[in-house]
Amino acid sequence: MDDVIGQAQPVAWTAITEHEPVYSSDSQLIGSVAEVLGSDDGGIFHGLVVRHHRLEHSLSVPASQVDSITLDRVTLSISAQEFEHLPGYEEEASYHLGIKGLFRHRPAWIRDRD
């Protein structure tokens, strides 16, 4: 019984795992977590990338539409129909400050995931 109660306990967004099921506010399974969008530096949760269970593409869910996060699921504050009208996810380029140059090393912005 403790395991069931423990799974219903809210957890931080940093505990969300890939492939965690995502449910709508009307209790329908609508997909699974593909990516968590957040900032390590400030601990800011921006939202989720959810792989729709029927569609070929992933949708972007802003943090404001995430109602609850537990150990076994994420529940949104929107219905399954509203979820299907969210924008598709398009990866944004991000950069970090690093060192570039073969002979003359200098600080420069380096694109992440290169």
SS3 at position 69 = strand
35: CATH? 2.30.30.240
What does the pLDDT look like over 36-72, one tens digit per residue?
988 877 688 999 999 998 877 899 999 999 999 999 9
* pTM assigned to the model: 0.74
Residue 114 has pLDDT above 60, yes or no: no
User: Is pLDDT at 5 greater than 50 in this prediction?
Assistant: no
Give the pLDDT band (50/70/90) at residue 3: very low
Task: Output the CA angle 68-27-91, nearest 5 degrees.
Answer: 60
- DSSP strands (E only) in the chain: 21-23, 29-39, 44-52, 58-62, 66-69, 74-76, 95-100, 106-111
Report the largest interatomic distance among the alpha carbons of the chain, rounded to a whole angstrom: 63
Q: Which of 12, 24, 14, 40 is nearest to 76 (CA)?
A: 24
pLDDT, averaged across the chain: 83
Q: With 80 as the cut, is the pLDDT of residue 34 above it?
A: yes
> How many structural domains does the chain have?
1
48 C-beta neighbours (distance < 10 Å), count: 29
| Domain span holding position 43 | 2-111
Is the model's pLDDT at 1 over the cut of 60? Answer: no
Give the integer Cα–Cα distance in Å for 25 and 88. 20
Where residue 79 falls among pLDDT bands split at 50, 70, 90?
very high
